[in-house]
Amino acid sequence: MKIKNLFFQKILPDKWDKFLFFLIIFHILLFSIFHILNKNYQTWDSAGHIGLSYRMAEEMENFASGIEGTSIKSILRISNYYPPFVQTIGALTSLTFGYKSTFLLIETLIFFILSIIFTYKLTFLFTKDKKTSFLTATIYSLFPQIVDQSHYFHLDIPLTALVLIAIYYLVLSDNFKNLWKTILFFVFFSFIQLTKWTGFIFLVVPVVIVLYKAFISKDTSSDSVSKIKIIRNIIIGSIVFLILVVPWYYVNWNELMAQVKIFSGGESDDPTNLWQSILYYPSNAISHQIMFLPFVLIFISVIYQLKNDWKKGLVIVFNILIPWLFFVFVSNKNLRYTLPLTPLFAYLIADVLLLLENHKGFKLKWLKGFTVIYLFVASVFLSFFSLEAQNPLFKPISIFFTGPRYKAWYYYGTSFYSYKPYKYPVDEVLTFIHNDAGEKEKALGVAVIVDSEQMSASMLEMVRIELGYKNMYMPVPYFQFELFDSVDRIEAFFNETNTDYVITSSYLGPEGLRNYSVLKQVNEYLQQGNSMFEKIKDFEIYKDSDNSVFIKKPDEIVSVYRRKSSSMKKEESTEGCKVGAGIDDGIETIKLSPNHTYVFFTGHFAIQDKIWRDYEKGVMYVVQIENTVHESSLDVHNLPKSGSSYCSILGLNQDFSKDIEEILTGEDKCGKGVRCHKVVLVKWSVGEDSVDLKEYTSDSIN
């Protein structure tokens, strides 16, 4: 027993370090209890990031197995909007432990623990006071949105941890004089940019201050020899940064820019004018992130900092103001975007609490304990109690925690953070469709016309992979923001995506969704005696509203539709293919749809100003055009006026090795009496500048 105590004392010699250890144990227990009680699947973005991790793991497996068409580049392209750092760790975790979301949620827990540790360590770097450091870490860890985000596979807790670690090594670099600490800063800076492309905004002020101290400030600027050393260290660190960051951004730049234009636009319920945008983050911080009392304490602390030391106060203000203003002017709003500011908020609260505790005129020793209990109760209340809106007892509780923002709780309830004691039948729905289709090999299109917190395409995709239904794919009118102009266009969507089944619900999702009106339109089409699909199954969902008794009337009904056998559908043998592309005028116009591959088998062609190839005897071109997000028309020119073979295929990174082999080994493939001695695979992603060419001959396939 004494040996254990000595060992524990050696590892954690300081009482505040021990307190930090027990704080971490407390949060591990809180995390575990939440997930034991929570019965529903991960939802929306969390499920989406888990799905990306699974797909990346599958691509890694394919690449390791030497499957044609896979490469480092294809792995990097799995996530073409979200940088892949967190998902890559998730993919490696899935390959090691299996495709189960629980293992990936532990990754979030680890990042959460790291954020607590580095909040403590970074605060100590600045204050040299472990009491302040521990109080800061405790307050940060108990902010309701921090506790909430630790339950999901989102990017914001990892980003917060990485920002803290990067700033920690930035400070230790001694204004970039220490080479290894400088390199570590740039390494973690690269991880930040590979987690969220907006992450750099939280480092602007710290980096500017360090550069100012290194080169300008009379008090801390270096001599000429040291400045050369600093410049050398920055260059070395920058090279490391570029080596780590450039590959993903280079491969995905065009798709990223195309999607940024879409996703930076606000949802229909986002603020639409400047004043509303300015108030969005502080008002929602009161009601959903840090609560009312901490907000008031931050305000008092900032005023004190400015009065006591205006330079230090301005640094704190700009650290808050620059990221806040950046996100104010991004139309798409989400309170999670400002999460990396919460450790600074926690420090401001801890600082003013300790000041008031020791102030001669106030002696508010009770306020420190009260604030910690206040945050603890708020986080536990939101995590484990789901109260219905406008409950009479709910109003005073709402006022206590959110002050003037009480309506955000009182009129909407608290289910937004609490665990879900019921499970939506996501796996049952997919298993039913899988069994009803009786197919394990043939591609099975399952359109998802619902996007709610409880059931969405990202959730269904995550569960599909966990269940091992590899032949299923899920077309969604996600980028269809305008109503279909006719019933024919709705049916064209189902035909073009080869949809066999449709999943919809009596609750389609929040009305603020960009494509909500389209989901509603398609759902009405399905319900009103359409000619393509018939309803074959209803899943009734009952929510346990009082945690003890199931109500008789279902809260929601999830419906499954199956394509009628008599409805028009493309022949199975053609797989979206036709002969005669470009016939007569040598031009074929493609109507681009997201997540589609278009392939031409032709003797000559041209794509915009990217590439032009004329006829060469014995040469066949397999032109593979991949489209991730674009919805427009594309003309392919210079096609044979006798027509070429053409296919439209759902999905990306298709493998055409068998087609190439058939062309090289078959007779008359390059014209009557002409064998093909060479096949050129032309691969181009819509929007990219470069075109990849790969040549095959009969020798290369033998």
3-state secondary structure labels for all residues of 660-698: HHHHHHCCCCCCCCCCCCEEEEEEEECCCCCCEEEEEEH
Report pLDDT digits (tens) over 37-89: 998 888 888 998 999 999 999 889 988 888 767 788 888 888 888 899 999 99
**pLDDT > 90: percent of the chain:** 42
| Cβ neighbours, 10 Å, residue 608 | 12
Shared-domain flag, residues 488 and 547: yes
Shared-domain flag, residues 283 and 361: yes
Shared-domain flag, residues 275 and 410: yes
Is 510 a member of any domain? Answer: yes
Is 255 a member of any domain? Answer: yes
Query: 367 is in which domain, residue-wise?
Result: 267-421
- CA-CA distance, 324 to 222, in Å (whole number)? 33
Shared-domain flag, residues 229 and 128: no
Q: What is the pTM of this model?
A: 0.80
Distances (CA, A) of 296 to 309, 316, 403: 20, 16, 10
Strand pairing category for 588-591 and 633-637: antiparallel
Tell me what the mean pLDDT of segment 509-522 comes to. Answer: 85
In this prediction, residue 546 carries a pLDDT of 45
Shared-domain flag, residues 256 and 302: no
The two most distant CA atoms of the chain are separated, in Å, by 102
| pLDDT higher than threshold 70 for residue 227 | yes
Shared-domain flag, residues 165 and 122: no
Shared-domain flag, residues 66 and 26: yes
Shared-domain flag, residues 294 and 439: no
Is 8 a member of any domain? Answer: no
| pLDDT higher than threshold 90 for residue 488 | no
In this prediction, residue 264 carries a pLDDT of 65
- CA-CA distance, 251 to 259, in Å (whole number)? 14
| pLDDT higher than threshold 50 for residue 548 | no
Domain boundary among 127, 154, 181: 154
Shared-domain flag, residues 514 and 449: yes
Tell me what the mean pLDDT of segment 286-309 comes to. Answer: 92
Look at the chain and report how many structural domains it folds into: 5
| pLDDT higher than threshold 60 for residue 573 | no
- CA-CA distance, 193 to 252, in Å (whole number)? 14
pLDDT band for position 221 (50/70/90)? low
In this prediction, residue 702 carries a pLDDT of 56
Mean pLDDT of the chain: 86
- CA-CA distance, 431 to 475, in Å (whole number)? 18
Is 2 a member of any domain? Answer: no
Is 188 a member of any domain? Answer: yes
Report pLDDT digits (tens) over 591-619: 888 788 999 999 888 887 778 888 888 88
Is 549 a member of any domain? Answer: yes
The DSSP output letter for 286 is I
Question: Residue 520 is part of a domain; what is its CATH number?
Answer: 3.40.190
Distance of CA 162 to the CA centre of its chain: 16
472 contacts 498 by C-beta, under 8 angstroms:
no
Tell me what the mean pLDDT of segment 506-521 comes to. Answer: 86
Which of 670, 578, 681 is CA-nearest to residue 615? 670
Shared-domain flag, residues 354 and 387: yes
Is 6 a member of any domain? Answer: no
141 contacts 116 by C-beta, under 8 angstroms:
yes
Tell me what the mean pLDDT of segment 415-425 comes to. Answer: 82
Find tokens 């009491």 and name the residue. Answer: 131
Shared-domain flag, residues 414 and 272: yes
Is 568 a member of any domain? Answer: no
> Which H or E run includes 634?
strand 633-637
Domain boundary among 563, 585, 618: 563
Shared-domain flag, residues 444 and 557: yes
Domain boundary among 154, 180, 205: 154
Instruction: List Cβ<8 Å contacts ≥24 apart for 605-611.
Output: 605/636, 605/637, 605/638, 605/639, 605/644, 605/682, 606/636, 606/637, 606/638, 607/634, 607/636, 607/637, 607/684, 607/691, 608/634, 608/635, 610/684, 610/689, 610/691, 611/682, 611/684, 611/691
